[in-house]
Structure 1
Amino acid sequence: MPTDRSEPTLPNLICNQAPIEEIQSRIDQVSDIDEADFKGWSGLHWALVRELPEVIKLLLDSGADPNLPTGAGHIPLNIAIRSGQFESTQMLLTAGADFDREDSEGNTPKALAAIWQCRKISKLFSG
């Protein structure tokens, strides 16, 4: 977390859809790429909810944990799948996201893709 309380955290910047240059600058300054806001949401979670593939790639390339759950137990892959984000799902899997991991509701990404009838995403899990 920034030491200067007047500076927004990485999750705040992404939640508010700051310019990519500002997000990159914050990434260069943070000691923990997975820093979370008061809800337990990291920058990666907010980038997924806001559907910002360029920011998702930047965060994953900078070492963001693709398996880190939110404070409520939602996992990044399930956030991407629920909104049909094929490209983001691919990026998360490439970064090492576990498609057999259950979220706080007992859903695996593999099962969610089938339930939500995301055929294109389901194919990513079958090889």
Structure 2
Amino acid sequence: MTRKYMTHMVHNSSVLSRMVLSHDGLWERLTWTDRTQSWQIFVTVQMDPCDSYGLCGAYGSCNASNSVKCSCLKGFVPKFQKDWETQNWSRSCVRRTALNCSSDGFLKYSNVKLPDSRQSWFNYSINLDELKMDKIYI
């Protein structure tokens, strides 16, 4: 496990400030406001832009190391090319050619971080061979 540390230096000690990592992966700097007697968000920073759900849309892949973050998976193209040229990737990718059930198959991708699926459901009674027989392909 890689550990990362951060130092927070305060120039004005009369300002109360704290930094937290929120449940959705955002660094938030909060400052205390006497008037409202509460912590107010001063700045929010996202550590990994690819953690924004749906950033690249359906059939898109995000790479935080690239200046152009999103690309379409193999066999797919941007649904609206002009949107992609302005770095609006959210409107998804579509198949380049229609699905051919007799010759198309599954592709294996490695080093991919999948979205949070805690709210998803799975059919545990079906196996990969049954999926192939039913022609359920991505």
TM-score band, normalised by the shorter chain?
under 0.3
The structure with more radius of gyration = 2
Q: TM-score, normalised by structure 2?
A: 0.22
Q: Give the TM-score normalised by structure 1.
A: 0.23
Counting strand residues as a fraction of each chain, which structure ranks higher?
Answer: 2
